[in-house]
Structure 1
Amino acid sequence: MSSDVPDPTDIEARTVENVRIEEEMEQSYIDYAMSVIAGRALPRVEDGLKPVHRRILYAMHEMGVTSGSSHRKSSSIVGETMGDFHPHGDSAIYDTLVRMAQDFSMRYPLVDGQGNFGSMDGDPPAAQRYTEARMAAIAEELLEDIDKDTVDFSSNYDDRLQEPDVLPAAFPNLLVNGSSGIAVGMSTNIPPHNLGEVIDATIELIDNPDATVEELMEHVKGPDFPTGANIVGRDAIYKAYKTGRGRLRVRAEFEVEEWKSGRERIVITELPFQTNKARLVERIADDVNEGEIDGISDLRDESDRDGVRIVVELKRGANTEIVKNRLLENHLERTFGIINLALVDGQPRVLSLKETLEEYVAHRREVVRRRSEYDLEEAEDRAHILEGRLKALDNVDDVVELIRNCENRTEAKEALQTEFDFSSDQADHIVRMQLGSLTSMEAAEIEAEYEEVQAEIERLRTILESEEELLGVIKEELREIDAEYDDDRRTSIIEDEGTVTHEDLIPEEEVFVVMTEDDYVKRMPISRFDPQGRGGKGIIGADVKEGDRVSAVFRANTHDYLLCFTNQGKVYRLKTYEIPEMGRTARGKSAVNILDLDDGEEITAVVDTDTFDDDEFVTMVTKHGYVKRTAGEEFERIQSNGKIAASLEDGDALVDVEVTDGTTDLVIATEGGMTIRFDETEARAMGRTARGVNGIDLEAGDAVAGLVATDEEDGRALLTVTQNGYGKRTVLSEYRTQSRYGKGLIDIKTDERNGPVTAVKAVDDDDHLVLMSENGQIVRTRVDEVSTVGRNTKGVIVMDVEAGDAVASVDTIPAASMAADEDGDADTSDDD
């Protein structure tokens, strides 16, 4: 390296500034975020446009590509926009241009496109070199009077040109065409509206600045999507207009038609906004092929340029209501989340309907004021010139003679100013006049023009001096646009009358649900089982295959929503009617298609509810004696793959569950015949994933069999049933309250005759008892047939269990639930 050339590593920095890296990163990120928010992603409240939209329209305005001109190649428009105003790549500009031309994306398209601009099927537009475009007529209303100093301008990216910060916007485009975009940490999603309705609401607000959102909604009924369809319910619309945020249910428009041979078909003619039609048809077809939707024989897309037409042909005998509502649940209804976020004075704000219109009216007031000032200045300048011409005509001979005697125009101008007191502008105009303008007819025309200009000056001064007149101009111009561009509403607003689901078509009845260890499941109407005397063998309730055995039987209503707790500490949500109904001698069907159970996972407890009061708890007990209470609200949203209800230590299992309210006592019973009763508040409320606290001090080899919730005034009895079919009742008051984690009291003798305890239940005298054995025998008997005795007794035989069999599960039928099956036909045949 030459000695004259400095070593670049030795050059000293001119300025070295020490900063904390976290502060620099924070400030840089804030600067970046605000750049995205203000310069790319969010629209301005005044004209409803983002910078790229505004720049495209302004570039077309400067190019003269208006609605009255011929179409211009899209590539030319994109190139001009990119070169002069938006140096961010042609694809982003062209994508925006395309969307502004799509009548299924914009309620009132701002670009008139010629060529392939895409479709509702998601087809891409042709390349920009093939398509042509020009401004739509309504877009010119956004730019009207932009050359009259109505808005502020700023330098473009290279300081060569000026571009508008906002457009004059002769109509509230933010609401009319809506907007969507994702910025940094925020997003906007504003639906389109009907132009006439928005203009009517704007005029209402001008006339009545104190108008409420409810009063404005008398004009703006709700969003009006370019693809039509229906908005379900008005409450969500009101919430969105009131707060700036809301969630609308948008439902496709369809009708059921009678078809050949008595069959029916569903014809879909309008789709929710931003629905990909081809993908929708594909998803429906997938559901039909996978058996998710039954009753459809054929599916066709018959759409053309005249509109959407999707035909769903039904099989003979198919239930149209079920098919229709399956389509609604999964395909024909979607949610549109409204976030009315826009830039106000450079800051993002969530606006109500009224605030949005107020900001627009304030903008329009400023535009009309500045335009009037500009027009007034122009009119006064013209009046000044006309006054000079009229004065010259009054002294025409002297003026002509003076000009003839001057050697040049400069001398003539000075002479006119000196001799006749003309201003410099008047003198300059006079010396440039043609002789033809000195005729009497020309003089009359000047007089008429002068009077018109004076009237215009008077009008403009009135507008500037009177707020009422200025607002009147705004209203008049809005009415003119309304008359020119308004059309009929496309989106209907319908009330939510509910849908007929599969559940609605299932008879409401009490049933037994039987589950086996190998995960077979079925339901049977309770009415098939008459009460029998205590000690009977029962009848077949399930044909259990070799090696399998019944793990649970429980009572439910076909319309119940059940929380099913498993031995592995998980909980699943199940609709009873989803369980297949089968006969007594049937084995059942695999539960894999109903519950996503893991290997070795069994249902051990069922809670018959899916909503909880604020003060209710799900109280659980495990085999090792741990007890835990968790707020019920934590179990209100459960996915198909279940949710953790309790964490278990190795070898432990969830045994039983009760719903409590914080005021009850808990009774824990063990397989060895022990019980303990304590106040539930001794087990503090915990989260779902907690293990819990010790509830009972178990003897070696003992395990928890069940859980009962009771209180001091509870007149019920504790029913205890053992594996060998013996049981007894003891009034709950005999179980005194102790402290948690004690040894407890003896409840029942578990000798060789009785076997270990299988279950405990709190029962009334008029309840019924249901016992099921591992081999599938089932007995229904009256509770009052089981003797009421004291603690520490053996009990009586409740079910005659054969050798090698054992009681697997016990449940009760409350008296209040038995009315539903009083008229049912009993099936009491003995299948032994």
Structure 2
Amino acid sequence: MGQNTLPPDGGDDNILPVDLKAALEERYLAYALSTITQRALPDVRDGLKPVHRRIIHAMSEMGLRSNSSFKKCARIVGDVIGKFHPHGDQSVYDALVRLAQDFSQRYPIVDGQGNFGNIDGDNAAAYRYTEARMTEVATLLLEGIDQDAVDFRKTYNEEDEEPVVLPGAFPNLLANGSSGIAVGMATSIPSHNVHELCDAALHLIRNPEADVEKLVEFVQGPDLPTGGIIIDSRESIVEAYKTGRGGFRVRSKWETEDLGRGGYQIVVTEIPYQVQKSRLIEKIAELLIARKLPLLEDIRDESAEDVRIVLVPKSRTVDPTILMESLFKLSELESRIPLNMNVLSMGRVPKVMGLKDVLVEWLAHRREVLQRRSRHRLAAIDRRLEILGGYLVAYLNLDEVIRIIREEDEPKVSLMETFSLTDVQAEAILNMRLRSLRKLEEFEIRTEFDTLSKEKAEIEALLASDEKQWQTVAWEIGEVRKKFAKATEIGRRRTQFASAPQADVEAIQQAMIEKEPVTVVISEKGWIRALKGHIADTSGLQFKEGDALKVAFPAQTTDKVLIVTTGGKVYTLGADKLPGGRGHGEPLRIMVDMENDQDVLTAFVHDPARKVIVASQAGNGFVVAETEMVANTRKGKQVMNVGMPDEAKLVVPVRGDHVAVVGENRKMLVFPLVQLPEMSRGKGVRLQRYKDGGVSDIRCFAIADGLTWDDSAGRNFVRSKEELAEWLGDRATAGRTVPKGFPRSGKFSG
């Protein structure tokens, strides 16, 4: 490197220190703005992002109208990236392909020929194989583009011009929807039915004050390319359209097919939008293998051009609604379509708009396009009228005009002076052909002059009257509505509305779990596990050193297990979620949020029809329904309010009509069950009065059958109503010393 190529002074003077934070902020802001306005968000007026607008414009420049022949997509992509959109060819082709897919676009903008992908998620063929042209939708979007309807700007290399926005005679933003992720913001707009959008727009023209509730009478909800059923309530749909944010729950459309002899199969004919069919079936097959769908026997894909997924139930007795509800919960047969109408208002400002705002801005754009096209036409008429005026002068003075042209050195100047013509008129006369000098020509010029004068007056009247402009806009919208009416094949509403069937939640939960017998084992130190099968003898169970069996009971995997702690809290665990029988299981404390100073009091299988008495050490208690004890979170549910040193001690099933309570002081009291209140939470009432000590055991029984207990030797004792007379009393009294033969343990069961 030569010495003379170095900058003077070693180059130090040309280095400018820049604050890193400021530089990053400035550069990142520029990037963020570019992403928001030039890539991810659609313009509210034509519903297009720049890449789509450039594809349509390039096709328009190539003359690929809906009635012309197809051209290779490679040529279209080449034009787009060469002239307008300097990005990757694959990204442009992907955008072009999407515009042609009738399962992605509700009203395709591109008419594709060849393999443009399918609903299974297979890719389109390479662009050298596929061909395309515009659809009528694209023609409508471009209508009037050569009549100064919209502004143009220079392309990236300033060689060509491209439209800033398209005239948009088609309500594309809502009709085809859009989705995109920018920096710090995203957009997601589902597609809608054009007939309904046009109805809503026409209503807005007639009643500009109309509210969203009224507009939703026309635009009932999204109309998705792949159909499906929306199961949201009317209120939530109105709320989503009001704010521009929300979502829609879309379910697959299904029906049962009778196979004779009481057998049936379920056939799914429509799946939610943007769900890949092959992936959906794979996922359901995985659930089947994992035994998460005990009601389902098999799944088959019998689709051809249409969707046909066959679901075979385990047996003919399976309720199809419950089977489908379990599938909706676990698979993408039900999907949520988000609504986030974040769009570029006036092509510049990103903001979330409601349904009314979007329609109002589209209508304002249509009116502006009408005004610009009218002014453009008016200027063209004025130019033509000026030329026709010159022609008429020439015809009235034909001989003189010919003489001037033949004899004068500067005929143009002479013509202008002699007949007071403008430069344009004189030029037009000089450029006139000789064959135009025939007799009929004057009559034709006068007719054209009159026709244009009349049209000029009409356009001027239109531009002067707001009412006439809105009438014209309404007429144009009416024409679009006719073209895409619900009576036509493309305009027919695909997505239906329905309420979700009120299936039994418990039954659905059961349908998602394979029913198998297990034995639930909980140790003294709070370790839990579920052994396969019902084990009668638990003496052979192994525990960690220093640990022992607390409670063991049989259950089914479909059961809920209620775990009660000494702190009066109840936790709920699904028997299918418990750790397997290998090893010692897992500590309960990592499965639920259990306080360190509390221990497991007892656990049992939840029976929704049952009630229990909960009692504390000090002798307080109340009746609670088991349905009130179920907790839906890790935090559990506080049922009995106890404070140290008192703690929950007993949970006893309610039976019969009387309660027998034994204290640690070996006194027993029998009182009617009705004296105990039923509560969902509380401290309870006093069961029995003690000088010291607390409660030892409780038993509910029917007085007519008598009170029974077993002693430690296994002998059974029964005391009839008459024999219990001296222990019968009111709740909260002290009671009498236990009868003869009562176990020394102070418990009713030895």
Sort the TM-score into its range (normalised by shorter chain): 0.7 to 0.9
2:158 alignment partner, SS class: coil
Instruction: Normalising by structure 1, report the TM-score.
Output: 0.70
Pair 1:157–1:595, CA change in 2 (3 A)? farther
Counterpart in the other structure of 1:355: 357
Give yes or no for the alignment of 1:334 onto 2:335: yes
Q: CA deviation at 1:48?
A: 0.5
Tell me the equivalent position of 2:499: 495
Shift of 1:99: 0.5
Partner of 2:366: 364
Task: Give the Cα–Cα distance (whole angstroms) in 1 for the partners of residues 64 and 270 of structure 2.
Answer: 33
Alignment coverage as a number of residue pairs: 676
Give the aligned residue type for 1:648: N
Instruction: Indicate how the Cα distance of structure 1 residues 388 and 11 shifts in structure 2: closer, same or farther if over 3 A, else same.
Output: same
Deviation at 1:288, TM superposition (A): 2.5
User: What residue number does 1:584 align with?
Assistant: none
Question: What is the distance in 1 between the residues matched to 2:537 and 2:584?
Answer: 20
1:176 correspondence with 2:175: yes
- Residue 5 of structure 1, CA deviation: 4.1
Kept in 2, the 8 Å contact 1:725–1:798? The answer is: no
Distance 1:394 1:564, change over 3 A: farther
1:542 deviates by 8.8
Give 2:345's aligned residue.
344
Structure 2 residues without counterparts, runs of 5 or longer: 486-490, 511-517, 523-527, 542-548, 604-613, 622-633, 652-657, 677-682
Cα distance change, pair 497–595 in 1 and its aligned pair in 2 (3 A): farther
* Mapped contact 2:663–2:690 kept (Cα < 8 A): no
CA distance 1:798–1:463, shift in 2 (3 Å)? farther
Counterpart contact for 2:72–2:127, Cα < 8 Å: yes
In structure 2, what is the Cα distance between the partners aligned to 1:798 and 1:89?
95
Give the secondary-structure state (helix, strand or coil) at the position aligned to 2:339.
Answer: strand
Write the letter of the residue equivalent to 1:136.
Answer: T
**Aligned residue for 1:592?**
578
1:452 Cα shift?
1.6
2:268 partner amino acid: I
- Give the aligned residue type for 1:334: S
How big is the shift at 1:648? 2.2
Distance 1:675 1:573, change over 3 A: closer
Cα distance in 2 for residues equivalent to 1:139 and 1:428: 40
Q: Which runs of 5+ in 1 are unaligned?
A: 507-512, 524-540, 580-589, 604-640, 658-666, 677-686, 709-716, 734-739, 751-755, 809-832
Counterpart Cα distance in 1 of 2:583 and 2:564: 11
Q: Which amino acid aligns with 1:66?
A: R
- Counterpart of 2:377, as a letter, is D
What secondary structure sits across from 1:342 in the alignment?
Answer: strand
- Check whether the contact 1:787–1:795 (CA below 8 A) recurs between aligned residues: no
Aligned partner of 1:617 in structure 2 is none
CA distance in 2, matches of 1:395, 1:798: 145
1:195 and 1:596, CA in 2 relative to 1: closer, same or farther beyond 3 A?
farther
- Asked whether the equivalents of residues 254 and 270 of structure 2 are also in contact (C-alpha less than 8 Å), the reply is yes
Q: Is the 8 A contact 2:302 2:308 kept in 1?
A: yes
Q: Structure 1: how far apart are the matches of 2:550 and 2:711?
A: 7
Shift of 1:706: 3.8
SS at match of 2:4: coil
Q: Percent identity?
A: 37
Say if 1:141 and 1:170, in contact at 8 Å, map to a contact too. Answer: yes
- The answer to whether the 8 A contact 2:531-2:581 is kept is no
Partner in structure 2 of residue 546 of structure 1: 539
1:334 alignment partner, SS class: strand
Give the structure 2 partner of residue 473 of structure 1: 472
CA distance 1:315–1:697, shift in 2 (3 Å): closer
Aligned partner of residue 47 in structure 2, secondary structure:
coil
Do 1:227 and 1:272's aligned partners in 2 also have CA atoms closer than 8 Å? yes
Task: Give the 3-state SS of the residue equivalent to 1:218 in structure 2.
Answer: helix
1:325 and 2:325 matched: yes
Quick check: 122-131 or 287-296, which moved more?
A: 287-296
Structure 1 CA distance for aligned equivalents of residues 340 and 698 of structure 2: 54
Are 1:391 and 2:393 an aligned pair?
A: yes
Q: 1:300 and 1:440, CA in 2 relative to 1: closer, same or farther beyond 3 A?
A: same
Q: Find the partner of 1:377 among 376, 379, 399.
A: 379
Q: Is the 8 A contact 1:45 1:356 kept in 2?
A: yes
Q: What is the CA-CA distance between 1:257 and the residue it aligns to?
A: 1.2
**Deviation at residue 522 of structure 1 after TM alignment:** 12
* Whole-angstrom distance in 2 between the partners of 1:497 and 1:64: 52
- CA 1:245–1:418 in 2, change beyond 3 Å: closer, same or farther? same
CA distance in 2, matches of 1:802, 1:80: 98
Shift of 1:378: 0.8
Q: What corresponds to 2:525 in structure 1?
A: none
Write out aligned runs for 1:366-765 (5 A). 366-407=368-409, 411-486=410-485, 487-499=491-503, 503=507, 516-517=521-522, 519=529, 543-547=536-540, 551=551, 564=563, 573-574=572-573, 592=578, 599=585, 601=587, 642=591, 644-648=592-596, 653=599, 704-706=647-649
Q: Is it true that 1:286 corresponds to 2:234 in the alignment?
A: no
Q: Pick closer, same or farther for the CA change 1:377–1:281 going to 2, 3 Å.
A: same
Contact 1:393 1:443 in 2 (8 A): yes
Matched-pair contact (CA < 8 Å) for 1:503–1:559? no
Cα distance between partner residues in 2 of 1:775 and 1:314 = 53
Distance 1:228 1:150, change over 3 A: same
Deviation at 1:493, TM superposition (A): 1.3
Question: 1:825 is matched with which residue?
Answer: none
Task: Find the aligned partners of 2:571 and 2:717 in 1 and give their Cα distance.
Answer: 28
Residue 220 of structure 1 aligns to which amino acid in structure 2? V
Task: For 2:89, give the aligned amino acid.
Answer: D
- For residues 665-707 of structure 1, the C-alpha deviation after alignment (integer angstroms, 9 at most, x for no partner) is xx9955xx7999xxxxxxxxxx969xxxx98666xxxx94549
CA deviations 1:255-289 (Å, max 9, x no partner) are 11111443101111111111111111222222223
Change (3 A) 1:333 1:675: closer
Name the SS for the 1:4 alignment partner: helix
Q: What amino acid maps onto 2:404 in structure 1?
A: L
The alpha-carbon distance between structure 1 residues 6 and 172, as it changes in their structure 2 partners (threshold 3 A), is: same
Aligned CA distance change for structure 1 residues 719 and 95 (closer, same or farther; 3 Å)? farther
Contact 1:706 1:760 (C-alpha < 8 Å) held by counterparts: no
How large is the RMSD of aligned CA atoms in angstroms?
5.0
Q: 1:404 to 1:653 in 2, by over 3 A?
A: same
